[in-house]
């Protein structure tokens, strides 16, 4: 906010979280910045029609886009991680339970 962050403060990470919510849209493909191995894009929460117990109802929905460097992260591991993140976003109280 004060434009005081140095380039050195932004180096050395392996994973990025980026917010795409302000841009709207439903899907994106976040680009991995070297030397990172993955990035997740969090999209805007919007109300959408969904089928729940045979009925069309309005529910809050948020899309997530993940990109993984497959030279480092196997696709199955990336998919498992995606489901793990989804579980905690849908049920934040689980963060307080030892799994």
Active-site positions read 70, 74
CA dist 92 and 94 (Å) reads 5
CA dist 22 and 15 (Å) reads 21
CA dist 87 and 90 (Å) reads 5
């Amino acid at each position: 906010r004060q434009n005081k962050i140095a380039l050195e403060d932004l180096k050395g990470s392996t994973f990025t979280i980026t917010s795409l919510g302000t841009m709207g849209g439903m899907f994106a493909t976040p680009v991995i910045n070297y030397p990172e191995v993955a990035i997740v894009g969090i999209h805007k929460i919007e109300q959408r029609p969904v089928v729940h117990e045979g009925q069309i109802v309005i529910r809050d929905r948020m899309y997530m886009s993940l990109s993984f460097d497959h030279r480092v992260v196997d696709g199955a591991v990336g998919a498992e991680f995606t489901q793990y993140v989804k579980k905690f976003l849908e049920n934040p109280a689980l963060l307080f339970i030892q799994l």
